[in-house]
Amino acid sequence: LELPSDVKEARQGGVFIALDFADLSEALVLTNAIGPQHQLYKIGLELFTAYGPLSVSQLIAENKKIFLDLKLHDIPNTVAGACRSIAKLGAEFLTIHAEGGAEMIRAARITCDEEAGRYAKPPLKLLAVTRLTSLASTPEQVTQLAILAQESGAHGVIASPLEASAIKKNCGEDFLVVCPGIRRQDSTVDDQRRVSTPGAAADAGADYIVVGRPITRAKNPAVSLKEISDEFLAGKKHKGG
């Protein structure tokens, strides 16, 4: 399966702010506090199950780029159907579980490609969740799942910065790696088990990082974003030579 041209563009990367809110108006207060120049936001199960497509369309109306973190995992036909519905919404990234298997991932990818031409929207790109951080895993297991996801048509994976460099080595630079579990040095880790700094994630080869509470619960979210984003982008630039 061919890599779409916009994957190269997607590799510019950045910081996805996780909008883990139960209330859409709270999410919009946050996006306003951050300001119009920042576009990357992640909508997860909490907001999406409460507001559905409206949560995506409201943010797209504000010119945001949406990563829809729904972690799909079902039989291929059902996941393909969900992808068909999601393609209409205009999100740019969607998560599916690598453990759903090759056939499920392939069905999702074929559907995304079929739907891509129908709407005046960027094509939906698939990010495979390798192994949930709440479950035990080995680096080999995670790398194997990343390879399976890539061979089956995923555009990238969600992984910890500790696994990112092995994934890039095995899957190549154009296979996107998106890393959650990010904290600045000296900050609280909340319920994250293993954390990395934005700089360490950049060094490991992350294209994007996902950051929630360190920004959404900061006294000044815009300042927190700037600190995190500066550290991440400086690290990426350094790595790129």
Given a contact cutoff of 8 angstroms between Cβ atoms, the answer to whether 158 and 114 are in contact is no
Site for ligand C5P in 186-225 (CB under 6 A): 190, 192, 210-214
71 included as an active-site residue: yes
**How far apart are CB 131 and ligand C5P at their closest, in Å?**
8
Q: Which residue, among 182, 181, 178, 121, has the nearest Cα to 149 in the 3D structure?
A: 178
**How far apart are CB 219 and ligand C5P at their closest, in Å?**
16
**How far apart are CB 110 and ligand C5P at their closest, in Å?**
25
Site for ligand C5P in 84-143 (CB under 6 A): 132-133
Exposure on the CB side of residue 162, measured as CA atoms within 13 A: 13
Give the residue closest to ligand C5P by C-beta. Answer: 212
Residue 3 or 22: which CB sits closer to ligand C5P?
22
Residue 180 or 235: which CB sits closer to ligand C5P?
180
Site membership for ligand C5P, residue 235 (CB under 6 A): no
- Give the C-alpha separation, 122 to 119, whole Å: 8
Helix (H, G, I), strand (E, B) or coil at 58: helix
Q: Kindly list the distances between the CA atom of residue 202 and the CA atoms of 19, 184, 221, 228, in Å, as whole numbers in the listed order.
A: 22, 13, 21, 11
Cβ neighbours of residue 172 closer than 8 Å, sequence gap 6 or more: none
Residue 25 or 134: which CB sits closer to ligand C5P?
134
Residue 2 or 186: which CB sits closer to ligand C5P?
186
Given a contact cutoff of 8 angstroms between Cβ atoms, the answer to whether 34 and 62 are in contact is no
Active site residues: 71
Contact footprint for ligand C5P (CB under 6 A): 18, 20, 44, 132-133, 158, 180-181, 190, 192, 210-214
